[in-house]
Amino acid sequence: MSQTVDRALSILPLLAEGPADLGQVADRLGVHKSTALRLLRTLHEHGLVYRQSDQRYRLGARLFALAQEAMENLDIREIAHPHLVRLNEQCGHTVHLAVYEENEVLYIDKVDSRYPVRMYSRIGKPVAITVAAVAKLLLADLPEAERRALAERLDYPLYTARSTPHAEAFLKELATVREQGWATDLGGHEESINCVAAPIRGADGRVVAAMSVSAPNVVVTAEELLTLLPLVRRTADAISGEYSGRTPVKDRTA
């Protein structure tokens, strides 16, 4: 909509791939070097871009700070966190919290497993949307049309033999998930890792977030993990209650 801003913002994902010098940026933007320079300077003034000692540019510090502040303003996260910690204390496994936003599902909180073997994931990282248990829950709640459109648009990478292979299978899975009110991922993303997930709902009943417990095969079998389902659902419901205002907010530790 605004060409100048559009160009400037296109620099960010470009630099996310790694540091680049002026010429590279100009080339990949398809503009003159002088133009790229002025854009970079503006980004620099705002701290979004940093110029390292070898003169190349990379993403800057303010970006972290902004993401941080944005994160802290998400009240679901704030409400959910103590519950996630408690759940982690009870079962010992990795606990995740995720939301859907603009065709992506991303983790917004995580409490690490107490076992030495941990799975790789990072807060802020987009989730493998076609296989993750939390993603299924969040997408299953979208309006029919939107869900359908999104499913068609997605890629279906075969992470493992059990990954969701195509849109049709995915939509079917979503229907199941929608009906039963919980979801699993049994080795669909990484062969040896299983998850159980439950939805968190707002006052109007719509799914606003989803949480999951993940554990590798070497620690517990899929069956054992499934026995945690009632606990996960209870935790999710507790968060739902607090988020929608049904449960009185007793003592929220600031």
Partner DNA sequence: TCAAGCGTTGCAAATAATGCAACGACCATT
Partner DNA sequence: AATGGTCGTTGCATTATTTGCAACGCTTGA
Residue 59 or 135: the one with the smaller Cβ distance to a copy of itself is 59
Smallest distance, a copy of itself to C-beta of residue 104, A? 6
| 30 sits near a copy of itself (criterion: CB under 8 A) | no
Q: CB of 57: closest distance to a copy of itself in angstroms? A: 12
- Name the residue nearer to a copy of itself (CB basis): 126 or 222: 126
Q: Is residue 32 a contact residue for DNA (CB under 7 A)?
A: yes
> What are the counts of helices (DSSP H) followed by strands (DSSP E) for the chain?
10, 7
Interacting span for a copy of itself (CB under 8 A) from 26-34, 41-49, 216-224, 242-250: 41-49
The verdict on 92 binding a copy of itself (CB under 8 A) reads no
**Cα distances (angstroms) measured from residue 218 to each of 122, 156, 189, 191, 209:** 21, 27, 16, 11, 28
Write down the residue that tokens 């320079």 correspond to. Answer: 37
Binding mask 43-62 for DNA (x = CB under 7 A): ------------xx------
Q: Do the Cβ atoms of 120 and 167 come closer than 8 Å?
A: no
Kindly tell me the sign of the dihedral angle through the C-alpha atoms of 124, 215, 118, 72: positive
Reference 226, options 189, 199, 198, 190; nearest CA is 198
Residues in 70-89 at the binding interface with a copy of itself, rule: CB under 8 A: 70-71, 73
Q: Select the span of 25-33, 34-42, 163-171, 189-197 touching a copy of itself (CB under 8 A).
A: 34-42
Structure tokens belonging to residue 16: 């996310």
| Single residue of 21, 27, 33, 46 touching a copy of itself by CB under 8 A | 46
Q: What CA–CA distance (Å, rounded) separates 42 from 38?
A: 6
Instruction: Measure the CA–CA gap between 128 and 106, rounded to whole angstroms.
Output: 9
Residues that bind a copy of itself (CB under 8 A): 1-2, 4-6, 8-10, 12-13, 15-19, 38-39, 41-43, 45-48, 50, 58-71, 73, 101-102, 104, 106, 108, 122-126
